[in-house]
Amino acid sequence: QVQLVESGGGSVQAGGSLRLSCAASGYTNGYYCMGWFRQAPGKERERVAHISIGSSRTYYADSVKGRFTISQDNAKNTLYLQMSSLTPEDTAMYYCAAARSGGSCQRSDGVNYWGKGTLVSISS
């Protein structure tokens, strides 16, 4: 059984930084990609960043480019999201996601596995 468990959320002031972690367990060898999505109150879930497992290529939403960095530690089966220069617009529940071959980490309907989320709150 695949499990994704996020941690690292919290409340910080604008301009601050946070690092989110996602610990993956279960059959992780079949992952095609992993990524982070977020959902703010009243808004749709949106992709923030994702990484292709095979090539390690990374992709970012325009809104976070230059501020967020996604990375993975294969030895620890852990995905990270380093976030800096945070703004109140980054306030959301952040979800770790993974997709098998044939799936996609670019959109929420392509994801096969979801974590339960970790809350990020940025105050001005």
Q: Which tokens belong to 93?
A: 């529940």
Residue 26 has pLDDT above 90, yes or no: no
pLDDT tier, 27 (very low <50, low <70, confident <90, very high otherwise): confident
Between 88 and 53, the more confident residue is 88
CA distances to 29, 52, 56, 91, 120 from 39, rounded to whole Å, are 27, 22, 25, 9, 10
107: which DSSP letter? Answer: S
Mean pLDDT (the chain) is: 95
The reported pLDDT for the residue numbered 2 is: 84
Q: How confident is the model at residue 90 (pLDDT cuts 50, 70, 90)?
A: very high
